[in-house]
Amino acid sequence: MSTPTGPETLFQARRAKLAALGTVALVPGANLRYFTGLALHPSERPTVAFVRGAALLIVAPELERPQLEAHPDLGASVLTWRDDEGPEGAFRRALGELALAGELGVDASAMRVSELLLLQRLQPGLGVRDCTRDLLRLRARKDEAELLAMRRAAALSEAALEALLAQLEPGLSEREIAARLTNALSAALSEGHAFAPLVQTGPNSALPHGAVSDRRLRAGEPLLIDFGGTCGGYPADITRTFCLGEPPAALRRLYEVVSAANRAAVRAVGPGVPMQEVDRAARRVIAEAGFGERFIHRTGHGLGLEVHESIPQLAEGVLDPLEPGMVMTVEPGVYLPGFGGVRLEDEVLVTETGAELLTHSPHRLQLP
């Protein structure tokens, strides 16, 4: 198992923080990218990186070797396997080198049962422990390079939104609006999409996790858009609600309440603040307006290499304190079946003294 020598790289420094966890197995996904810089994709071919402090041993298919060799500062021992021989030999050699005496730490949210069973078949009696939250805690506080990428992702996403708004007109379907937003993100040089854009019109906007349909936009009804581009592997996550033409009084009232709840939650953010207090700040505004029963989800979630990260989590009962460097969404919403919904989602950074908005698109309901 290779321990790198020479100047410490960013990724070696990150891996060194895992030392207290013993040996940890990482599979393709956010944690592998964060601790190694490798943006490998999960496939039917198993790939596992074993981390022990700064030391790194990677078992991967032979076809991934070019990508591994493109990272000469990785400081890793690499064992590859070909399709005609299968993975067992390489993993058996890796387990021999590791000589595990205790449990193997795993990211239970990402490691597949097939990969775990392979390891346990090759080393009967191998014990594992769930390190998911330990890994997330290390990723929760963003460094300056991460924040730069996240600011750029938010900025290009908002530029794409502005371009889309200039194209909106009654009669466009949700699917057509989503396609135009996808094109606008590409034109803004987004690396990809944080997730498939969610566009909901009229009563469809009352479904927080609905799907894009062929329903056509009409004037005077809600248009909810939840989307994000990416930069440097980091996604944006933004929601805005609009209305083409004059909004009915009920929609305007709903929008004002949700916007006030969003602002109250952002004001509540700061270092040392229990996470549930941010949720309570938003929920209090909505409840006092008489819509408490229609705010049916948490106020926000962590944001980083993954769109949804569970640290921080802005929800009732979460007493963990916010820490400088954490980034989260603040996204209160109210949903009225048969009428529609309003959600306003911003990205917020916890600073040493309070909060900083990473999103700057204004809260505005009415479009010409």
Cα 292 vs. chain centroid, distance in angstroms? 27
Write down the pLDDT at residue 336. 98
Neighbours of 127 (CB within 10 A): 10
Place of tokens 């993954």: 306
Place of tokens 């700061």: 270
Neighbours of 175 (CB within 10 A): 14
Cα dihedral 23, 20, 235, 274 sign: positive
DSSP 345: B
In the numeric block, which tokens belong to residue 133? 């939250």
Cα 266 vs. chain centroid, distance in angstroms? 19
In the numeric block, which tokens belong to residue 99? 């000589």
Domains detected in the chain: 10-139 (3.40.350.10), 141-367 (3.90.230.10)
Q: Prior bond to 312 cis, omega within 30?
A: yes
Cα dihedral 206, 212, 214, 218 sign: positive
Query: 335-357, pLDDT tens digit by residue?
Result: 999 999 999 999 999 999 999 99
Helix (H) or strand (E) holding 105: strand 104-106
Write down the pLDDT at residue 5. 47
Write down the pLDDT at residue 102. 85
Write down the pLDDT at residue 116. 95
Is the model's pLDDT at 3 over the cut of 70? Answer: no
Lowest mean pLDDT among 50-59, 66-75, 294-303: 66-75
Lowest mean pLDDT among 74-88, 244-258, 315-329: 74-88
Write down the pLDDT at residue 1. 62
pLDDT, mean over the chain: 95
Q: How many residues does the structure list for the chain? A: 368
Question: Between the CA of residue 81 and those of 26, 27, 36, 67, 253, what are the distances in Å?
Answer: 18, 16, 20, 15, 62
Place of tokens 């197995």: 25
Per-residue pLDDT band for 329 (boundaries 50, 70, 90) equals very high
Label each residue of 62-103 as H, E or C: HHHHHHHHCCHHHCCEEEEECCCCCCHHHHHHHHHHHCCCCC
Cα distance between residue 242 and residue 246, in whole Å: 11
Cα 343 vs. chain centroid, distance in angstroms? 18
In the numeric block, which tokens belong to residue 39? 């943006």
Write down the pLDDT at residue 308. 97
Instruction: Quote the longest CA-to-CA distance of the chain.
Output: 70
Is residue 141 within 8 Å of residue 325, measured between CB atoms?
yes
Per-residue pLDDT band for 54 (boundaries 50, 70, 90) equals confident
Is the model's pLDDT at 10 over the cut of 50? Answer: yes
Is residue 60 within 8 Å of residue 82, measured between CB atoms?
no
Mean pLDDT confidence for 202-220: 96
Query: 138-174, pLDDT tens digit by residue?
Result: 999 999 999 999 999 999 999 999 999 999 999 999 9
Name 342's bridge partners.
Answer: 334
